[in-house]
Homo-oligomer: A and B are copies of this chain.
């Protein structure tokens, strides 16, 4: 493989001149530029990025910290989609993407810190926000630029990009309340993840603002394992048969819930209304099509990436965050409360 020296020789100039041509240095005669470019083409030269990274002390690479996860969590197309968003701007800004995967909290920490310390990446995108996150603390000590997709606990002292999960959920639940629902069950996920905390908070606020008392027994925490979701939903509905609606904090959880409802011999939306969250592309294909919230995953990814690149290059003095808007997608999984109050079938 030819190096910059070979080009220099072949073009009859010095290596530094070749370097200047590569880097579009302004003070170079168009004649030399042309000559050099021809030589590069002729001998098939391509700059060695590794060498450049070494001298520039910059890799032009972004690390993507993927959540370590069970099989099922990974089945979530969320990650494919956010990768698209990230990839599109990284491509555009000439950044490469280093995928950082792991099989648990400890490994994630080790592997991520290693990538930073060994200077493999210029910055990191953390694709989740957790409570009590040791990774963020370590990263701050290393003074690595990073942005969190999600709302970190210490929201004032981090860069992050997120939806307004509290407000979005509040709106979603108020849609349900507007339909006449008052006893709304919740199937939520691991409360270690702040996204689920926030969605639960949005649920509570919606109830509060509408004078409905919050009943913690209506809230079930599941583990992301679909089979369990189905079972828990059935148990919930058996214990509280007066529930007229279920709010699942994620569409995938909603799928399991719907299955549970069906297994009880109940119908969605006639007997029970169901809403999900995230607008999984499959949600329009299931029966009934699921009412959910579109969180604009692609934009979450692209915005976070733009931010990170900005932070790397500008080193802003103040932390900031960005909110990506959401939209309720009303489909067929909700009906009015046709419970005991009016009981009129259609």
Closest 4 CB pairs of A and B: A87-B101, A46-B117, A75-B281, A97-B99
Chain copies in the assembled complex:
2
Chain B residues whose C-beta falls within 8 Å of the C-beta of A111 in the assembled complex: 91
Mask: chain A, 274-290; 1 = CB below 8 Å from B; 0 = not: 00000011101111000
**Chain B residues in 8 Å Cβ range of A120:** 49-50, 96
Question: B46 contacts A50, CB within 8 Å?
Answer: no
CA distance A298 to B70 in the complex (A): 12
> Which chain B residue shows the least CB distance to A256?
B285
- With a cutoff of 8 Å between Cβ atoms, the chain B residues found around residue A178 in the complex are none
Contact surface of A with B, Cβ cutoff 8 Å: 1, 46-51, 53-54, 59, 61, 64, 66, 69, 71-72, 74-77, 79-81, 83-84, 87-88, 90-91, 96-99, 101-103, 107, 111, 114-115, 117-120, 226, 230, 252, 255-256, 258-259, 262, 280-282, 284-287, 298
Q: Which residues of B contact A74 (CB under 8 A)?
A: 77, 80-81, 83-84
Cα A48 to Cα B54 in complex, Å, equals 9
Complex Cα spacing A260 to B152, Å: 43
Q: Roughly how many angstroms separate A84 CA and B117 CA in the complex, as a whole number?
A: 24
A50, A98, A102, A114: which has the most chain B beta carbons within 10 Å? A50
